[in-house]
Amino acid sequence: MSRKALFDPKLYPVCDCHLGSSDVSRTITKDMMKKLPQIDTNRLRLASFKPDDAELVYAYASNPNVARYTSWQPHETVADSAGWIEYALSHQDLEHESLNCPWAIRKRDDSLIGCISFKRTSITTGRIDYVLSESEWKQGLMTEAALAVLSWAFTHVDGIQEIESGGLTENVATVNLLRKCGMTLRKTANHHFAKFGDEEKEVSYFSITRDERKANRASREAG
Ligand SMILES: CC(C)(COP(=O)(O)OP(=O)(O)OC[C@H]1O[C@@H](n2cnc3c(N)ncnc32)[C@H](O)[C@@H]1OP(=O)(O)O)[C@@H](O)C(=O)NCCC(=O)NCCS
């Protein structure tokens, strides 16, 4: 597939309204793939994508329902998904200042069902984005994955004070998910997205601070 397609944000199968395309290509090394920490939850295992996951990514990323509110278009071919995996693996980064962790979400039977990413956006802030296969929706799985990533980031990523996320306000699933994860709506703003043509869309910006997370945990433990 062409380099242009490889770095086209429309192919990025998580909702990342701020994703910029990049011309910086990097070679995928075994070392890069090893670096991503594995996170286990009750029902899930978050770990690095593998180059041969393309058909499994295509299975969810080609679904128009899954891509309905995302900034990317549904993948048209398995090669689109393979290109995205190559992009994700080559930009996976555990360096302090450029931290970028695109985890594949697998069930305990090893089936690949989605993606959740954490990226550092400044010295003190990070952002999560996520997507799940439609057959797995509404079982609390993304809540489980997102809470695990928030916990990992606040515990292991030096300096992180606030973690952000967000999406189109009309994407009720994502708004409910972020609230469920303890995030607070900070602001809304209208934007144009190439994908949606001339129509402006309202984006809801959520976040949770380290202190808020601590307070949420304390009140859960008390109640
Ligand atoms: C958004 C998404 C990841 C949610 O994943 P999920 O595993 O179904 O979410 P959960 O089951 O953990 O649900 C979290 C909360 O959101 C609610 N929710 C989930 N889907 C919902 C929907 N379609 N409508 C209304 N509420 C919904 C759940 O009921 C739950 O709240 P509750 O426990 O108070 O009932 C999933 O719908 C998805 O992948 N959508 C397509 C991709 C996408 O839009 N990504 C985000 C772009 S910004």
Protein residue whose Cα sits closest to atom 10 of ligand 1: 140
CA of 109 to the centre of ligand 1 (A): 22
Protein residue whose Cα sits closest to atom 15 of ligand 1: 177
Atom of ligand 1 nearest to the CA of 65: 41
**pTM over the 0.85 mark:** yes
State which of 176, 201, 204, 205 you would mutate to test the pocket of ligand 1, scoring each by most atoms of that ligand within 8 A of its C-beta: 176
Q: Is 126 in the pocket of ligand 1 (CB under 6 A)?
A: no
Question: Average pLDDT of 49-72?
Answer: 94
In the predicted model, is pLDDT for residue 1 greater than 70? no
Higher pLDDT, 5 or 28: 28
| CA–CA dist 33, 37 (Å, integer) | 10
Alpha helices in the chain (DSSP H): 3-6, 30-35, 54-61, 78-91, 141-156, 172-180, 210-222
Higher pLDDT, 77 or 6: 77
The pLDDT assigned to 116 comes to 96
The pLDDT assigned to 7 comes to 34
Q: Is 92 in the pocket of ligand 1 (CB under 6 A)?
A: no
Question: Average pLDDT of 92-111?
Answer: 91
In the predicted model, is pLDDT for residue 19 greater than 50? no
- Cα–Cα nearest to 191, from 74, 17, 15: 17
The pLDDT assigned to 31 comes to 52
State which of 46, 113, 115, 138 you would mutate to test the pocket of ligand 1, scoring each by most atoms of that ligand within 8 A of its C-beta: 138
Question: Average pLDDT of 191-218?
Answer: 91
Number of H helices, E strands in the chain: 7, 8
The CATH superfamily holding the domain 3-161 is Gcn5-related N-acetyltransferase (GNAT) (3.40.630.30)
The pLDDT assigned to 217 comes to 86
Protein residue whose Cα sits closest to atom 26 of ligand 1: 173
Domain locations in the chain as residue ranges: 3-161
